[in-house]
Amino acid sequence: MIQELFDLKDKVVLVTGGTHGIGMAVGTTLGKAGAKICVNDIDESKLEAAKAEYAANGIDCYTVKFNVTDEADVDAGISKIEADVGTIDILVNNAGIIKRVPILDMPVSDYKMVIDVDLIAPFIVGKRVAPGMIKKGAGKIINMCSMMSVYGRNSVSAYASAKGGLKLLTANMCCEWAKHNIQVNGIGPGYIATAQTAPIREGGHPFNDLVMMRTPAARWGEPEDIGNAALFLSSKAADFVNGHILYVDGGILANFGYVKGENEL
Ligand code: NAP
Ligand code: GCO
């Protein structure tokens, strides 16, 4: 049955930073496909609020607080999941931050902070989770990449450095773990309507015009657009998809842009 291809019944999923935005959409979609959802965040109050929101969607999620940049904290958190829920079958390295500051104004400490969360943390969490998948003989890892895995743009040097690195970390995880039947892929969202992009999307911000011009679909993406892509990469249907970055961007990467006007040249 075609539905069986996307059935995640009995699969244990960990979504880092899964209390809102893209992470919550991923957790909700995979939960609706039958998976047991484990939601991580660094903030206990957000975990409590998220648990209620997942429940409202019929998903009894397991919440676990740990800082994805702290190796000991990650180890304790993953050990808790393995003891309470089971070996993680699907890992979504979603937690991320961004700082929009020009290079000349950015303290090195801020640059390092973004690299820590957006690049080193997926390494830490992946390295801790993979042994369980290897022992089980199967697993799925999805690293949340970005348009900035491909492009630079003013003011996001740390973020683009991290997301560019995450694209190649995804390739390297694939090279080392594919023989263990672990499929490691990335998702590269376009511009998605979440709290992270609110500052450059709301209140008539001119960046909104740029996104509309660069996005052939002429809309901001919704977190659910990413959840749907995560369902594919988490499913049996993607068992031979490995080391791939699935861009879910409304056509941005295919588009140089146009000049608004009669012919929209
Ligand atoms: P968001 O609303 O800012 O959510 C990020 C999540 O990561 C939050 O739950 C946050 O928790 C968590 N987090 C941050 N630092 C953490 C840490 N040290 N330990 C544990 N959790 C931590 O972002 P989003 O827009 O949903 O984006 C989610 C992912 O998609 C990010 O990796 C982002 O780079 C990527 N992405 C977003 C877009 C977009 O347009 N929105 C496009 C491409 C890629 P707190 O809220 O408690 O800090
Ligand atoms: C920015 C945005 C983007 C998005 C996303 C695009 O300031 O350019 O925040 O970086 O978050 O990464 O794919």
DSSP string, 61-96: -EEEE--TT-HHHHHHHHHHHHHHT-S-SEEEE---
With a 6 Å cutoff on the Cβ, whether 96 touches ligand 2 is no
Question: Using CA atoms, how far apart are residues 265 and 250, in angstroms rounded to an integer?
Answer: 19
Q: Domain spans of the chain? A: 2-196+221-248
Report pTM.
0.98
Query: Is pLDDT at 209 greater than 90 in this prediction?
Result: yes
Question: Using CA atoms, how far apart are residues 112 and 118, in angstroms rounded to an integer?
Answer: 10
| Fold topology of 2-196+221-248 | Rossmann fold (3.40.50)
86-104 pLDDT, tens digit per residue, is: 999 999 999 999 999 999 9
Report the residue among 22, 94, 98 best suited for mutation to probe ligand 2: largest number of ligand atoms under 8 A from its CB: 98
Question: Using CA atoms, how far apart are residues 12 and 80, in angstroms rounded to an integer?
Answer: 13
How far away, in angstroms, is 263 Cα from ligand 1 center?
38
Ligand lying nearest the CA atom of residue 118? 1
Dihedral (CA of 246, 15, 125, 97) sign? positive
Look at residue 51 in the predicted model and tell me its pLDDT: 98
167-196 pLDDT, tens digit per residue, is: 999 999 999 999 999 999 999 999 999 999
**At 263, is the pLDDT very low, low, confident or very high (cuts 50, 70, 90)?**
confident
